[in-house]
Amino acid sequence: MRAAISAGAITALVIGQVAVAAPAFGGDHIPPAWKHRTSLRVVPDRPRQNDFVRLFVHCPPAANHAIVGSTAFALKGSRRLYREVGVSLSDRGLGRDAVSVSYYALPGDHDVLLRCVRVTMDHRTWIRKIKVVGRYAVPLRVRRFTVGRFFG
């Protein structure tokens, strides 16, 4: 009985290694169509009030900056209900940042909006030109703040 189980386990390992060895896109290669996609991921997707979320951004290569905004990110004492956060991008168009969800954000559904922009500046006159390259939106559900989670 044990011999049959161990033979099955060895077979599964060998088959699994063969299946994993073949890369889907040829190693580190990313398909060209995926490089021009705009995407945003907010983790966790159901945070509580007075919590932090991580933003993972991907913008097309033409963009050099990203702006992420939501009503859930409003600051204490601020009259503005909508707050925008700037995220710098790498050469590959990837960026990440951590943002606090306000204690004063209303529980419920909020939208997180991403704008990928190309910023050019005339250094002589200091005039900036901002061109929107891509947009994306994801839902965010804010849950009520509970003190009990600190005393678990």
Residue 20: pLDDT band with limits 50, 70, 90: very low
Q: What is the pLDDT of residue 8?
A: 58
- Transcribe 33-88 into DSSP letters: HHHT--EEEEESSSPBTTEEEEEEEE--TT--EEEEEEGGGPPTT-S-S-EEEEEE
Domains with residue ranges and CATH for the chain? 32-146 (2.60.40.1930)
pLDDT digits (tens, 9 = 90+) for 61-99: 999 999 999 999 988 888 888 999 999 999 889 999 999
- Rounded to two decimals, the pTM is 0.75
The overall average pLDDT reported for the chain is: 84
pLDDT attached to residue 34: 83
Cα–Cα dist 130/148, whole Å: 45
Helix, strand, or coil (residue 22): coil
For range 38-64, the mean pLDDT:
93
Please tell me the least confidently modeled range out of 29-43, 53-67, 83-97, 120-134: 29-43
